[in-house]
A and B are shown apart, each in its own frame.
Chain A
Amino acid sequence: MRSTFHSLETSKRALFVQSTALNTLGHNIANASTEGYSRQRVNMTAARPLAFPGLTRPNTPGQIGQGVEYVSVTRVRDNYLDLQYRRENQQLGMWDVHDQAIKAIEKIVNEPSDSGLSKVMDKFWNSLEVLNRDPALLSARIDLIGSATNMAETLKHMSASLDTLEADAASNIQAKLVQANSLIESISQVNGIIRRIELVGDNANDYRDQRDVMMDQLSRLVDVQFSEDANGMMNVFSGGAQVVTGETPTALTLADVDNLTGGEIAGYKKSVEEVQTIRNQLNAMMDTLINGAVDVTLPNGYVTANDITAQNDVTLEDGTTITAGAVIPAGSRIASSVTITVNGFNGLHQLGYTMSDPAENGLPFFTTTDGSGTFSIGNIQVNPAIAADTSKIAAAGKYEVNGSGDSITIKGNGDIALALTSLRDKKFNFPLSLTTLSSGTTDDYFRAMVGDLGTRANNATRNYTNQLNLVDGVNMRRQSVSGVSLDEEMSDMIRFQHAYNAAARNMTMVDEMLDRVINQMGVVGR
């Protein structure tokens, strides 16, 4: 036997459930543009009908509906897409930073341009050619010192810019670690909230969204692997270490940075490596040019100031022949062509004679500002003694002894200047510890270096674009599943509103029925 007020209860349930659905719908609309929000659905089900086993069975045909109930409010979300998103997002973070850094390096290398290193080096070699054209010309000497100083300063500027870039990357690693650790802590806190909410059987929809947004942000910074435990808590691993264990966060430290395989922090680590590669390559180029062993031929002979050995048999002006490898005593006037192994630009310059009287051997043309024996782009400078006195440029390879026993440089002799210009076309061996480019002229080497940088820059840009497309694609699919569609919500709104109105009408109808029974029944003949 059903209750008199059965239909009233059914209508009331319908009113409650439909208004709940309308509330949730309002929640969806309000969050239509919220980042990471997943649309929520009220899952309705028909209430248990009469009669249900266990209830007293009335003596009437059964299964009278008791209206509607909602069993849960859930968010619409595909966890597999989250997995994909975070997997691609960590690579995107890494390539984004890497791409930015390598573009900054390209700016520092500044090629092609009218003020880049290759133009500056062209100018340097050309001023040696000018010196060879007129070895005693003061303006040629000043030009050489100017262009050499310019080259040293360009290199120093590059060095300083690379240092800044490297320091920036290193400090960004620190800043991003702080950011990642704060996310890790927040995720473990939200884990606790979700556990307590879901323990009592509710769905922590909005907290889950919040946690997913933080996971997305974390995956941009570091690589993440994650799994959810039975209590709905997310366990997160990063760089092989567990950083979130239920409600317990474990902060990442600088020591963990080397293990990271993705995210912006790994990108900064790679940027530092890129800067070091470029700096090493440039250092190798300059140290080899200035110090590297190379065979130089002086085609028109040479007058020795010290004992040297030559690579070929040489003939002196007095007709004596000295075989290759034998010591040529100081003061010998070599008339034939002579090939000598020298230590780079400096070694060759030291063979020459200055313009001063009496003749002096050339000084090292370049020196280091820090006194180190190894040249780098940070410490190279034109020897201050030469910069202060143009006559210290040793362009001549010959001197003669005058009547009073003084050595006088032959001013118009440009044999050493000529040999210095020839260094431009000499193949040097570059140290393999610093660079993969093994042998070639300095011009070749620098071009190869720039080409190498370009290839890596291209690679970084391509990877970044690819990742961006992948992440965009996954995000699109995620939006397709979880995003709020206003049109859909509008049509649902009409649906729920109508249902609500109809339930109210039903209640009115029951009210009228009861009115009929209570107030108007049994009054016949009144």
Chain B
Amino acid sequence: MRVTGMMQSTQMLRNLRNTNAGIVNWQNQLATGQKIHRPGDDPVGIGYQMRYDTELARSDEFLENARTGTGWLNTMDSNLQQATEVLQRAKVLTQQALNGTTPEDARKQVASEILQLKEQMVAIANSSYDGRYMFNGQKTDVQPYSSATAATDETDTGMYYLNVSPFVTVPVSITGEQIFGASGSPDNVFLALDEIYNNLIANDVTALSGGLTKIDAAADRISLNLAEVGARTNRFELVENRLLDEQVGLKQLRAQVADVDMPEALIQLQTRENIMQASLATGARIMQVSLIDFIR
């Protein structure tokens, strides 16, 4: 083959161009740690990378939902604990008052404490989380109970739900009437406290003893709801753990698709660097040589 000077320089430039393109590519991968910089780098891989990124972002939101649920339920739990304590105190006081030796004016003192306990119970039933009333279903902007009419106040039956995965929705809220007793029903906790108060004022010991069973019934109901709250808390905690595990898995999968294999990239870059040095050295040597150097 006849070789001309132009061919030598064309070929050398072409090879240098290719080697440089390779160096730039691997350098970019090493500098960013990412394999895919544009869709054309890996048309299939980019779909996976985008899916994992989306899933991770979504998972963060579900995690936030689960944490909100846990927070909400923890608040509900401590509220119900308080309610239980209030009822225990009411029971002890009522039992004291039931004692035949208790004088009438002492019963009146007990009555005023019962009144305070009822107020406390109303405050618990009106408690809120993040500015939302917890025990009024979906009417989170409406205070469910007022102390004057607590015994007959109705709460909303709507439920507060949270998503923990694309297709799984978990109920969070328990409506007030379910915890404190249906409006106006004999075992409504506010009605029971009202009755005890009235009976104490009226000094009606016989009727008072009936109040004791109602308090027990109310306390049982609250315990049941506490168990429900506990069960839901567990569920949210499980969800939280599952989401965290999933995120680890997703990050691993994403890394497999999108992250640069560092040793591979370093070796590739080094190889190309060597090739470039060799082609520069040979190119520079060969292109200098000419017949002109040897004839006089």
Instruction: List residues of chain A with CB under 8 Å of any chain B CB.
Output: 32-33, 102-103, 106-107, 109, 111-112, 118-119, 122-123, 125-126, 129-130, 132-134, 136-137, 299-300, 396, 398, 410-414, 418, 421-422, 424-425, 443, 446-448, 450-455, 457-458, 460-461, 472, 475-476, 479-481, 483-488, 490-491, 494
Residues of A within 8 Å of B47, CB to CB, are 447-448, 450-451
Within the assembled complex, what's the spacing in Å between the Cα atoms of A485 and B54?
61
Pick 28 A–B contacts, CB within 8 A, sort by A.
A32-B5, A32-B6, A102-B40, A106-B38, A111-B39, A112-B49, A112-B53, A119-B57, A122-B57, A123-B57, A129-B163, A133-B64, A300-B158, A411-B139, A411-B140, A412-B137, A412-B140, A412-B160, A425-B166, A447-B47, A453-B43, A455-B40, A472-B14, A485-B2, A486-B291, A486-B292, A487-B291, A490-B292
Supplied contacts A300-B161, A411-B141, A412-B156, 17 more A-B pairs, CB within 8 Å:
A112-B37, A112-B50, A118-B53, A126-B58, A300-B159, A412-B136, A412-B137, A425-B167, A446-B50, A451-B46, A457-B43, A458-B40, A458-B43, A480-B7, A483-B4, A485-B2, A485-B4
Instruction: List residues of chain B with CB under 8 Å of any chain A CB.
Output: 1-7, 10-11, 14, 34, 36-44, 46-47, 49-51, 53-54, 57-58, 60-62, 64-65, 68, 130, 132, 136-141, 156, 158-163, 166-167, 169, 258, 290-292, 295
Contact (Cβ within 8 A) A398 B39 = no
A398-B158 in contact given A109-B39, A125-B58 (Cβ < 8 Å): yes
Contact (Cβ within 8 A) B42 A133 = no
Contact (Cβ within 8 A) A418 B4 = no
Contact (Cβ within 8 A) A112 B132 = no
Residues of B within 8 Å of A443, CB to CB, are 51, 54
Within the assembled complex, what's the spacing in Å between the Cα atoms of A109 and B38?
9
User: Which among A106, A418, A451, A455 is the interface contact of B169 at CB below 8 angstroms?
Assistant: A418
Least distance between A20 CB and chain B CB atoms (Å): 22
Least distance between B144 CB and chain A CB atoms (Å): 12
Least distance between A305 CB and chain B CB atoms (Å): 17
Residues of A within 8 Å of B258, CB to CB, are 112
Residues of B within 8 Å of A111, CB to CB, are 38-39, 46, 50
**For the complex of A and B, 7 pairs with smallest distance between CB atoms:** A454-B39, A454-B43, A457-B40, A412-B140, A483-B4, A412-B138, A487-B291
A483-B6 in contact given A490-B292, A491-B291 (Cβ < 8 Å): yes
Residues of B within 8 Å of A458, CB to CB, are 40, 43
Residues of A within 8 Å of B140, CB to CB, are 136, 411-412
User: Which among A133, A396, A475, A487 is the interface contact of B162 at CB below 8 angstroms?
Assistant: A133
Contact (Cβ within 8 A) A457 B156 = no
Main SS class of interface, A? helix
User: Which among B39, B138, B163 is the interface contact of A453 at CB below 8 angstroms?
Assistant: B39
A450-B39 in contact given A132-B163, A136-B132, A425-B167 (Cβ < 8 Å): yes
Within the assembled complex, what's the spacing in Å between the Cα atoms of A197 and B178?
109
Residues of B within 8 Å of A137, CB to CB, are 130
Residues of A within 8 Å of B10, CB to CB, are 472, 475-476, 479
Within the assembled complex, what's the spacing in Å between the Cα atoms of A446 and B46?
11
Contact (Cβ within 8 A) A112 B163 = no
Contact (Cβ within 8 A) B1 A486 = no
Least distance between B43 CB and chain A CB atoms (Å): 3
Least distance between B127 CB and chain A CB atoms (Å): 15
A106-B39 in contact given A33-B6, A129-B65, A412-B141 (Cβ < 8 Å): yes
Within the assembled complex, what's the spacing in Å between the Cα atoms of A480 and B5?
9
Within the assembled complex, what's the spacing in Å between the Cα atoms of A486 and B4?
7
Least distance between B19 CB and chain A CB atoms (Å): 14
Residues of B within 8 Å of A299, CB to CB, are 169
Least distance between A155 CB and chain B CB atoms (Å): 17
Residues of A within 8 Å of B3, CB to CB, are 480, 485
Residues of A within 8 Å of B38, CB to CB, are 103, 106-107, 111, 454, 457
Within the assembled complex, what's the spacing in Å between the Cα atoms of A491 and B163?
87
Within the assembled complex, what's the spacing in Å between the Cα atoms of A188 and B10?
31
